[in-house]
Structure formats: C-alpha cells, structure tokens
Amino acid sequence: MRQNVPVAEIMTKELITLTLSNSLYDAEKLFKKHNIRHIPIVNEGKLIGVLSYSDLLKISYADVLDDEDDLMDVSSVVYDVYSISQVMAKVVVSALPTATIKEVTEILAKQSFHSIPIVDEENNLLGIVTTTDLLKYFLKQYQN
C-alpha cells in the first residue's frame, strides 16, 4: 500500500452544497436525489458547516415512527420550525488537500462523524471525504 497518499486523490470534488438561505426541505430532496449523507454548507464558497442526513432524522423523529406518511407529516412541521443553521454542525473538522489518507482515517476513527470537508488555507471548500470513500480506497488496495 502506498504511504502518504494525499486525500486529494480520493476526495469527491463534484460537490452538492447548500447555503443558509436553503431550507431543510431542499436538503432532504438533495439527500434523496443524490443518495448522499453529508452536505457542506457554504457562504460564498467558504465552508461554514455540514448537514448530515442523520441530523435531519434526529429532528424529524424518524426513528420512532413506523408509518412513512406520519414521518412526512412530522418532517413538514419540523422543517418549518428549524433552519439549516440551527441543525447543521457548525464546528467542523476539516483538512487540507495535502493531508494524507492515513491522517484523515485516524481523525474519522476517533470521532462520531463520518465525513471531512477538504478546504484550502482560506477555508474555501474543495472537496469532501467520507468513510465510504476511505473504505472504497482500502478495498481497492487489497484488490491489487
């Protein structure tokens, strides 16, 4: 396995992002349409937070409702009450594109979150790396 591989080699660069002016309805649509679990929140290209699909589930009581119609009713009410800025993670651990895959893996292994936004020195969003990206990378190494 190659040592010191920069995370820029595996990060997702074609990003789905939101701003604070978007709604939680917008977020839910993007999560479902693109089958993703993390959306960086940006302001003029700079990272200001991350919204995860699990953040939406927590506020919509999805884990206590069995009926999908009930879930949609509760989500509608909750999404009207909360904003993205209230639900997103504001203190975000990020990394530079020169960080190694090993370094990013070590961070994620110690934390309860599952993605790391990749930013430049001015906090401009460049990409994102998820635990799924890392698993795919490691599986590919074992196939070679």
Q: Which domains does the chain have, with CATH numbers?
A: 7-143 (3.10.580.10)
Q: How far is CA 32 from the centre of its chain?
A: 13
Sign of CA dihedral 106, 111, 113, 117: negative
What is the C-alpha to C-alpha distance for residues 63 and 111, in angstroms, rounded to an integer? Answer: 22
Q: What does pTM read for this prediction?
A: 0.85
pLDDT, tens digit, for every residue of 42-57?
Answer: 999 999 999 999 988 8
Q: Which residues contact 47 (CB under 8 A, 6 or more apart)?
A: 40, 41, 92, 94, 117, 119, 123, 124, 125
pLDDT, tens digit, for every residue of 62-113?
Answer: 444 444 544 445 556 778 888 999 999 998 899 999 999 999 999 999 988 8
Neighbours of 13 (CB within 10 A): 10
